[in-house]
Structure 1
């Protein structure tokens, strides 16, 4: 069977791979190709094997996130395939060697986490109605009315509530960032993925501050108990904090 080489990530040379890594596309194993001070985490992939299915994406994420829990890693985007192992050395590790070494040094000892927050919708709407008499009156006027007869009033109500939610979301995201930024190397706000999302923050945390960071997240969750449900994911591959190349690197 003719194979190409699938690339997951770049790590430091002589890194030991975690056990149980399952390759994309059902290959034999995940391995490392060393070159200089670097290693590329790879696996074989059948040339006629199409990529893009959900299982392939999940397999890729599992490999890079498992690596991120074990060592400093520069993750590659899903779907990176080159001709063979020689191309990994010539086109990836050799050509970008100095940048990759520098980038790994910048991220050394750091791990990415993602903090998700979701509103309790009933509590959120109740707080908006309690704070704004005009919206409260409009809500009362359409509650038991014929939906067709109050169509435009309901649209106006939805738009007014949406404006309030945007303001509250911006304030909450800023508050969370203010609380957690002292414990992070860097913070990257992300666009909320769902209608009930309160916030989504990517945070790069050094291992020396990890305990303090987790305590700060717990304290924030206690403070927002009943209003916002927080979920901390990680460590994950640091896609949001890959160092930008510079002329000196």
Structure 2
């Protein structure tokens, strides 16, 4: 019989560990402005294509920046550039710029992750960002060493909403997928979790609302800070 007791948690990164708007709206505005090279009309066009509201300085629901890979973002923007670089060059530029994103943790991460590790839970990160920037972000906020597994879209396991990253975490941790909880802020995250056969929890520190996440989640929490109480209620 499969052991279904929870023994691992895999987190999305952006919008889950880090508040999405406070982190990535600022990044998007700066990156699109640099890409437009001082052309206001081009900046407005690129903002529209990327789903960025420059007046409100916010990313809009449905923005490609929310859940897609850097390669997908580059493919969307490339046709609108007057002198487009190679796709690989634009992807590299996105990844390089992402290294300097102004990270805003959704909650104090170290004490939360230490609590979860203290419960004997293996911890992982599955992101549609590249693995290099993901590791840099976790390092810059002092929590890289809390994770047993980190995968980006370029780590060889595919990207969400496919379940490959999540299944790779379960395999690396020696767990059955039913022993793992997927925590994320977007439908991509929760669809991936369900496809992997995992329990799912949605959080509201991304762009999606509770009504968007509830049909795909076992619970929807304001942020990941609510996980210990949720686990306590489950006897974990």
Which of the five TM-score ranges fits, normalised by the shorter chain? under 0.3
TM-score, reference length from structure 1 = 0.26
TM-score, reference length from structure 2 = 0.26
Larger Rg belongs to: 1
